Structure 1
């Protein structure tokens, strides 16, 4: 139901025709009914005189039927096959190999240093570097600064409590207090480190380790320095490779979605919706990769002004493809076969060039203005594909 309404909204956006004011009240009624559990009441649907309005009309009609029916448990969606799981592909692909090499370098270097300066507690240093090497915790420099500040705050807190409560009472009380703060502190890396450090120091103190606070602070400083050095090595530490991989994945997902819409309009709708979700998910991952890379310090980062417009162009291409699919389903018009094959072939070529890390070629594309006289749906897709091709070399 929500998917039908969102696709109808995309189609209405491309039609650029104002809806009657009373129609906008229908989604609000549905949202209020979901929030409160009360009946949604009558829903005002627009006159189904265009494909977008017909799609919204059918979506609201389906919503009214669903809300009027007895509540029943929804069936669990089937698990996707392994080939459709992007996490597994990333782990076995170039990003997984690069991450493995970076972690191995950090952990190996820190282990060698720790064995030289402190063989009894050598594990603290490589563990610190392994946490800092994770790419999903924010920019590397801010991770290192937050880790160091959080550790320093935890060491100061542990030392103060130990001076006020000598013996085992101080570490036990501090571990209990910081343990209760973990659910609140986990949202910020520095606060999380500040809450975890006294717990680790309390366990070390109760086990008989001497000088643990000072050693912990020194190990954190060394681990930050090693992670910063490894994270800014050429190729190994750069986020540019991650952005390029996600960019190619977004192009491939967009190509699969477009091919399903224009080449197999009679295929099951569930297949098209699966490809649509995969395309928008790949787009979201590419946008996240660009944002993370832009936050890194040079030379590990990438300029946002080059990649952000390119990612936005893919988003508009997916929206145009969705609008085209809605028009096919609710308009019934067949697409020009030759132009449709040309568009899918051009998008395939762009995806292959991005995956091979080579300069994009110049695949033939139909003129959107001339194509608009025959098929407005494909003309919108061709226009956005022109933009993607233009922005690909800059990205």
Structure 2
């Protein structure tokens, strides 16, 4: 493997060109339009408005539509049980936030103190998990709206209307549950097989293989999360879930054989990926009864590994009933929901990061509310709303979100201006809201700036129904958004060193250490034949964990790339090493597969030397060195016919990224 095959520094852009992170944020993601979500959003937001006009209470309809909008934005899960949590729990917490905000409306500095305290709690609970993060967001958002806008009386009216709108979205979401109850989990497992087929099709084809290997890791992680998450809530051994888990486990030998097939440097026969795609269709359709396989005769260890893995997967996929006591959870069965919640609350209370984020959010909300209390600002609650949306580190880079939100708001205001200027208030709002609401899920799939542009006119139309200001809402909305973005950038980003002094180097170093342990475990000697099954299970668990960690590290680096210098530059400098470490793990897996199917195992000293040098690489990265500063002697190369020779080549390629003077590694075909 040549170092030229690993991407190094990015090309220097033209001096007048927009920064790469901005162009990346404004480039629409290649995601399909979620048509079911589009129709659901149109119905969910337009129906409450129609009911409100029919009852001659348009304000009630607008509040219910606000709750529905939060439900539409929060409906991001695949499995139905998770969708219940993702929609219902944040809605209940959001209703509490609206009640608290309504109670302090018009109380001056009492409202400022209350919102600051709510912001602290909101920020801290956001660290527990995805559902808690959405709940914290709605808690603060609705509290800000309730404290800044006069709501219908009595005080519990607005919270109930918001909750009703959110639950209406939940009802629409669950209409298909009786028919498609297991479909999300089954589709996720089938998608894993299809991603694997694409990977095998790209084996031996250079950079395309790396891209598709990452897609397989993402698909496998997603499928395990869905299936194991569902299984955690089933107290008995559900046959359908056991079968899905067995089908997912049958993918693992094929995933392990893929790197070995890629290292051959030759494309696989088309019958191999075609057979995997047939398995994907069988999983999705629930077919049983295995048809015959027509595969080329296997001669080499790699071919035998693929043949054996494919035949095993075919047997498992078409098996009517899996053995419920012979299914490996790989990463372990998740704890019960109440146990995870208890752990999350404990970790939140003891976590320094949780407190720091809560304090950052509280500081910015307190400043925003203090500013609008001292300076006359129209529709002042929008300043704090902007701070809340932007200052969410778990949603991405705070810096890029602030800039993209300002641009998205400007784009959304163009649409809102046309609607408020040309569409008369009344029943015409219902079809207009249906169209605008349909854009929210369609644009959300394309990126944050596009989502902001879609949500802005919806919020302005609903705000107009509550305040009756019409076109006069446009200018204050833009001004308040810019003020909120400025407060976030200065007091929520620049003043906190962890925002722009990223720890991506430490995270990468930990993963390199894990790679060294994986090398050792992959070729660890077995004390007895009876220990083979346990050792194989431990090795598979280690492989799954390290691939998941590598996926998380890659995502963290991609997030850091959107930060301004020096964070973005540092991430760009180290990102090639992320790819190099992924290839070290890949070639280690390929070597283990070759040994399993007849190749000579490496000597214990050879494995120890290689693992030691990988650990030295981790120490170099942990020292926060820039790539040009790191240097260390190379390990002695293994014999030409050693299964570890490709691993050594990938290690040398990784070292070459850190030390450009390192000699070019040898090219071998295993």
Q: TM-score, normalised by structure 2?
A: 0.49
Residues 113 and 270 from structure 1, CA distance in 2 versus in 1: closer, same or farther, beyond 3 angstroms? farther
Q: Verify: 1:274 aligned to 2:541, yes or no.
A: yes
Q: Equivalent of 1:56, from 306, 324, 327? A: 306
Question: 5+ residue gaps in structure 1?
Answer: none
Q: Equivalent of 1:110, from 368, 382, 403? A: 368
2:333 maps to 79
Aligned residue pairs, count:
381
Q: Is the 8 A contact 1:47 1:54 kept in 2?
A: yes
- Aligned-pair CA distance for 1:316: 1.6
Which of 23-32 and 112-121 deviates more? 112-121
SS in 1 for 2:548: helix
Q: Deviations over 1:166-195 (max 9, x none)?
A: 445465554443223222121232332233
2:560 maps to 293
Q: Equivalent of 1:367, from 636, 639, 644? A: 636
1:382 maps to 648
Which of 380-389 and 250-259 deviates more? 380-389
Cα separation, 2, equivalents of 1:251 and 1:186:
35
1:144 maps to 402
Q: Is the 8 A contact 1:164 1:170 kept in 2?
A: no
Cα separation, 1, equivalents of 2:566 and 2:426:
48
- Aligned-pair CA distance for 1:315: 1.6
Q: Verify: 1:241 aligned to 2:510, yes or no.
A: no
Q: Equivalent of 1:8, from 251, 254, 257? A: 257
Residues 159 and 57 from structure 1, CA distance in 2 versus in 1: closer, same or farther, beyond 3 angstroms? closer
Q: Equivalent of 1:193, from 446, 452, 462? A: 452
Residues 170 and 128 from structure 1, CA distance in 2 versus in 1: closer, same or farther, beyond 3 angstroms? farther
Cα separation, 2, equivalents of 1:393 and 1:281:
28
Which gives a bigger RCO, structure 1 or 2 (Cα 8 Å, sep 6+)?
Answer: 2
- Aligned-pair CA distance for 1:322: 0.4
Q: TM-score, normalised by structure 1?
A: 0.78
Within 5 Å, give how 1:29-178 maps onto structure 2: 29-35=275-281, 41-48=292-299, 50-70=300-320, 77=329, 78-79=332-333, 103-117=361-375, 122-135=380-393, 142-169=400-427, 174-178=432-436
Q: Equivalent of 1:25, from 271, 283, 290? A: 271
1:259 maps to 520
Q: Is the 8 A contact 2:301 2:599 kept in 1?
A: no
CA RMSD of aligned residues (A): 4.0
Which of 275-284 and 95-104 deviates more? 95-104
- Aligned-pair CA distance for 1:376: 1.0
Cα separation, 2, equivalents of 1:31 and 1:192:
34
Residues 161 and 311 from structure 1, CA distance in 2 versus in 1: closer, same or farther, beyond 3 angstroms? closer
Cα separation, 2, equivalents of 1:71 and 1:118:
69
SS in 1 for 2:467: coil
Cα separation, 2, equivalents of 1:361 and 1:101:
37
Q: Equivalent of 1:225, from 478, 481, 486? A: 486
